[in-house]
Amino acid sequence: MRLADGTHLTYCSNIHPGETWAEVRANLERHVTRVRDRICPGEPFGIGLRLSGRAAADLSDAATFDEFAAFLARERMYVFTVNGFPYGTFHGTRVKEDVYLPDWRDDERVRYTDQLADLLARLLPEGIEGSISTVPGAYKSALQDADDAHLMADNIVRHVGHLVELERSTGKHIALALEPEPCCYLETVEESIAFFTQYLFSEACAQRLVRMTGLANSAAADALRRHLGICLDLCHAAVEFEDPARCVQNLLDAGIRIPKVQISSGLRIPRLTPDTLAALQPYQDAVYLHQVVENGSAGLRRFDDLPEAFATVKGGLREVEWRVHFHVPVFVETLSGFSSTQFFLRDMLAAHRRTPLSPHLEVETYTWDVLPAALRTQAVEDAVAREMQWVLGQLGAQASVHAGAPE
């Protein structure tokens, strides 16, 4: 939905399991319409659409696309952002580090993201910018050397060339938003700025875009900044102990846009004790990575998953704080034995209320199926609606729905 300040707010449909288009389409009918009716009945509702590689191929069929377009018109819904991060299966089986594959070293990541952009350009209402969130380059331990960074940058610029041509042919502007995440190539805001500055915004990448598109040198440099940016996931940033105000300002000072903010909350364990460690045990699962960042006297220390972090305390507890990449409902502040990183959300949404950080806000609590039972006491659409109502409450007066939202 479009808010009074022009921002579009939604939630990501990746919370609903579905890899084929038929499954995604059923989820939109069953769940998303119910969330809409709880949040903004009678008003247009924007969809944060997650499409796997398989679902994107299915939706590219002409008849399938036309049926979806008719559904959107009938239900007064619109698509303005796509989650292009997980390419393959995302629920019910081991995902872990495979969620980053194919990464930005792989031609298939380029082809898939180009296809998402083609679909989004056809779905976008006139006058609305589109965004596609994507993997943060690659999983950090999978990289070999600087040649990988050059390859990732080259492939990302190839996609920017596709976005430039799409804007020429359709008039629709779409931005690719790389999503920093713990233990990935782009992990922190500092690392993201370094990659953009050294590679994506370099003269070499601008010249590559000139050759692809025929743009003038200055226009190519501008296109890289217009079509590329960061998807700022607030769980990830909190887990990395980012400073709420400084991380945004540092991106803006570097000329890096934030096409999408993902509103998500992780776990904060301010002190390790036998009780807090026992309370944390149910958050281990066999599906997703739950990276841990430890902050102590020696600085930050990172673990790829909860079992690796637990293994380090067998010899004795340390005076440290842990933050864990496990998305919990954003309306939850206190958990059994510890808390969430909701404090970080409150600071960031207060900043957005003063000056919008991004044109797109997307609630993203994809872990519904692996949450401890105590956090799953209501229907998923009720929980999502409650999350969005909490966000609207934090945004205050700016959150009133704009009646002139897309038809």
pLDDT reported for residue 314: 86
pLDDT reported for residue 405: 47
pLDDT reported for residue 402: 54
387 within a domain of the structure (yes/no): yes
Q: What is the pTM of this model?
A: 0.97
User: Which residues have a Cβ under 8 Å from the Cβ of 320 and sit 6 or more positions away?
Assistant: 272, 294, 295, 296, 301
276 within a domain of the structure (yes/no): no
Structural domain total, the chain: 1
379 within a domain of the structure (yes/no): yes
77: β partners: 45
84 within a domain of the structure (yes/no): yes
Q: Are 145 and 94 in contact (CB under 8 A)?
A: no
d(CA 178, CA 181): 10
pLDDT reported for residue 398: 61
Q: Are 322 and 337 in contact (CB under 8 A)?
A: no
- Could you tell me the two tokens for 113? 């993201």
d(CA 230, CA 252): 11
CATH value at residue 73 = 3.20.20.150
pLDDT reported for residue 401: 60
Q: Which residues of 206-239 are buried (b: 16+ CB within 10 A; e: fewer)?
A: bebbbebbebeeebbbebbebbbbbbbbbbbbbb
d(CA 222, CA 217): 9
Q: Are 366 and 2 in contact (CB under 8 A)?
A: no
- Could you tell me the two tokens for 365? 């609590």
290 within a domain of the structure (yes/no): no
153 within a domain of the structure (yes/no): yes
Q: Are 137 and 178 in contact (CB under 8 A)?
A: yes
- The pLDDT profile of the chain, 407 residues, written as one tens digit per residue, is 999 999 999 999 999 999 999 999 999 999 999 999 999 999 999 999 999 999 999 999 999 999 999 999 999 999 999 999 999 999 999 999 999 999 999 999 999 999 999 999 999 999 999 999 999 999 999 999 989 999 999 999 999 999 999 999 999 999 999 999 999 999 999 999 999 999 999 999 999 999 999 999 999 999 999 999 999 999 999 999 999 999 999 999 999 999 999 999 999 999 999 999 999 999 999 999 999 999 999 999 999 999 999 999 987 899 999 999 999 999 999 999 999 999 999 999 999 999 999 999 999 999 999 999 999 999 999 999 999 999 999 999 566 665 444 65
- State the SS3 of the chain: CEECCCCEEEEEHHHCCCCCHHHHHHHHHHHHHHHHHHHCCCCCEEEEEECCHHHHHHHCCHHHHHHHHHHHHHHCEEEEEEECCCCCCCCCCCCHHHHHCCCCCCHHHHHHHHHHHHHHHHHCCCCCCEEEEECCCCEHHHCCCHHHHHHHHHHHHHHHHHHHHHHHHHCCCEEEEECCCCCECCCCHHHHHHHHHHHHCCHHHHHHHHHHHCCCHHHHHHHHHHHEEEEEEHHHHHHCCCCHHHHHHHHHHCCCEEEEEEECEEEEECCCCHHHHHHHHHHCCCCCCCCEEEEECCEEEEECCHHHHHHCCCCCCCCCEEEEEEEECCCCCEECCEEECHHHHHHHHHHHHHCCCCCEEEECCCCHHHCCHHHCCCCHHHHHHHHHHHHHHHHHHHHCECCCCCC
pLDDT reported for residue 403: 43
User: Which residues have a Cβ under 8 Å from the Cβ of 239 and sit 6 or more positions away?
Assistant: 182, 266, 291, 293, 323, 324, 325, 341
pLDDT reported for residue 139: 97
292 within a domain of the structure (yes/no): no
Encoded amino acid at 235, one letter: C
pLDDT reported for residue 344: 98
Q: What is the span of the domain harbouring residue 240? A: 8-265+338-399
- Could you tell me the two tokens for 199? 């590679």
168 within a domain of the structure (yes/no): yes
